[in-house]
Structure 1
Amino acid sequence: MTVTIYFVRHGQSEDNLRSIWAGWKDAPLSALGLKQAAALGEAFANTPITAIFASDLKRAHSTALALHGGQPEDAKPPFTVTTGLREQHFGKAEGRPWDAAAKPEDLDVDNDIFPILTVRDEKFPEGESLNDLRERAARDVLDALLIPHIWKARGKDADETRLACVSHGLCISELCAAIVARAPDFHERLTFAGLYNTAWHCLRIGVKDETPGMATDDQMDVHAQLTIEVVKMNDSTHLDNITRNVQPEEESELREYLSGKAA
């Protein structure tokens, strides 16, 4: 059997309204972000969640709490906070302005020139590259948190496990790519990037060639090959009645980057 996993991006943060690098910089949700998170919780009120995993950064943690709060009072799921779901760390660029006109070779820490980097192994001083982020997401989230649930679902009669990972645009994009890398039969050409605030991807994930009765923890293969079924991508229908800002997030190059489009 498979596990249904929702990969949810946080609501709009106060830093989403500024042209600065904000990965580990810990800004809270904006007024609009709080409304988005509340709408998310209402949208999932009739969808039982087995477990919620959340980034510890305020914008994602608060969004996850809204999702958790929308679950029935007598069936609140376990709530796990993990640094594994944090956004990409931009190191010396954190909180600094981004330069739309600069090229990667123009990077100058002393003069506050922080261009968008275009190569996966590039990073700002003391920060993470996209490759580093994918490695962290695979190790600390996929292997440590998701695979145990996916493995335990083998042999069950029905799809009854639903997980939610509340994180950030780049981290979700890299985490989903890490999952796809474990699914050799998955050949769809799609991108997991470009998530709107509080939008979500939904995937059903299982273990390839699963065998009923082989579901004990001591038999778990962390690196087992997976199967993937795409249920929904970038679903934001819960935001239909919420007014966007005058400048929608997807219209900014930096904000597109932070939604995962860089990956």
Structure 2
Amino acid sequence: MTAEAIRDAQAEPKPPIKPSALLREQNYGSGEGKRWDSRRIPGLSLDEHFERGIYPVLRGRCERFPGGESLDDLAARANDTIDQILLPHVWDEDNYEAHVAVVSHGLFLAELITALVRQDPAQQTIQPRDFRGMKNTAWTRVRVTAQKSAPGEKPSCKEKLMPLVVQVTNINNSDHLSSLKRQRGGIGSSAHDSRQKDIRGFFKAGAGRTHSQEKNSG
């Protein structure tokens, strides 16, 4: 479990893990595990495709499979995550410099980061596509501060109604994988190699590429 690997790499006292259903990946409903068709039958509505057991690739942000979520539904859940899980840390006067690691999956994380960045009135044009395509175990770092707070000053109760300043400092950072060695012969078929690093070591704090470096890397 990625969250456990991250926690185990931290110094004592180790942070708690708080699972939440809000952090699950997009729910595809009856389309889960089904073969998706890139083409649609002319003259048939989306629901009529489903009735025939055909699951076309979803288009836009509103379409969903029966019992599943659309991208707009995913964005709404991302906003709930911000309100219920993340913002309480921003306004926690006893732990103003809190660091919170959110572990989830690519589509949801893209919506979550977008919704979080849009908490800043100056960044309303940001789109989920700007944060899609993250590598496995790659991370993106977002700094959130109260707009009226001076550096090092805790936000007051009144400021909890004020806009936030949100800065994306790292995007899709996977430097921790650069020294990963693939095990020859497949898992379970090779003898233990003490030179191979434990996965928990990949999540220890270290320098990463900044947002500007990522944009300029081409």
TM-score under structure 1 length normalisation: 0.58
Which residue is 1:169 aligned to? Answer: 106
Of 19, 22, 36, the match for 1:98: 36
The answer to whether the Cα contact below 8 Å between 1:200 and 1:233 also exists between their aligned partners in 2 is yes
Deviation at 1:243, TM superposition (A): 6.2
Relative distance call for 1:144 and 1:187 in structure 2 (3 A) is closer
Which residue is 2:193 aligned to? Answer: none
Relative distance call for 1:136 and 1:167 in structure 2 (3 A) is same
Relative distance call for 1:82 and 1:224 in structure 2 (3 A) is farther
Which residue is 1:80 aligned to? Answer: 18
Which structure 2 residues correspond to residues 53-72 of structure 1 after superposition, within 5 A? Answer: 62-72=1-11
Report sequence identity in percent: 35
Deviation at 1:228, TM superposition (A): 1.3
Q: Which amino acid aligns with 1:132?
A: D
Which structure 2 residues correspond to residues 1-263 of structure 1 after superposition, within 5 A? Answer: 62-72=1-11, 74-102=12-40, 108-139=49-80, 141-152=81-92, 160-186=97-123, 191-210=130-149, 212=153, 214-215=155-156, 221=160, 224-242=162-180
Relative distance call for 1:154 and 1:206 in structure 2 (3 A) is farther
Deviation at 1:115, TM superposition (A): 2.5
More strand by share: 1
| 1:168-207 deviation line (CA, Å, top 9, x unaligned) | 1111111111112211123786711111111110111112
Gaps in structure 1 of 5+ consecutive residues = 1-61, 245-263
Aligned-CA RMSD value: 2.9
Relative distance call for 1:155 and 1:196 in structure 2 (3 A) is closer
| 1:43-94 deviation line (CA, Å, top 9, x unaligned) | xxxxxxxxxxxxxxxxxxx11111112223x321011000001111111101
Q: Which amino acid aligns with 1:175?
A: L
Deviation at 1:153, TM superposition (A): 5.6
Q: Which amino acid aligns with 2:84?
A: A
State the alpha-carbon separation in 2 of the partners of residues 134 and 189 from structure 1.
13
| 1:3-47 deviation line (CA, Å, top 9, x unaligned) | xxxxxxxxxxxxxxxxxxxxxxxxxxxxxxxxxxxxxxxxxxxxx
The answer to whether the Cα contact below 8 Å between 2:117 and 2:126 also exists between their aligned partners in 1 is no
The answer to whether the Cα contact below 8 Å between 2:119 and 2:164 also exists between their aligned partners in 1 is yes
State the alpha-carbon separation in 2 of the partners of residues 228 and 236 from structure 1.
22
Gaps in structure 2 of 5+ consecutive residues = 183-218
The answer to whether the Cα contact below 8 Å between 1:117 and 1:123 also exists between their aligned partners in 2 is yes
| 1:218-248 deviation line (CA, Å, top 9, x unaligned) | x674x6421112211000111123368xxxx
State the alpha-carbon separation in 2 of the partners of residues 154 and 188 from structure 1.
33
Relative distance call for 1:185 and 1:153 in structure 2 (3 A) is farther
Which residue is 1:27 aligned to? Answer: none
The secondary structure found in structure 2 opposite 1:166 is coil
Relative distance call for 1:206 and 1:213 in structure 2 (3 A) is closer
The answer to whether the Cα contact below 8 Å between 1:182 and 1:224 also exists between their aligned partners in 2 is no
State the alpha-carbon separation in 2 of the partners of residues 237 and 76 from structure 1.
23
Number of residue pairs aligned between Structure 1 and Structure 2: 175
State the alpha-carbon separation in 1 of the partners of residues 180 and 45 from structure 2.
41
The answer to whether the Cα contact below 8 Å between 2:139 and 2:172 also exists between their aligned partners in 1 is yes
Q: Which amino acid aligns with 2:62?
A: D
| 1:118-138 deviation line (CA, Å, top 9, x unaligned) | 211111111111111111111
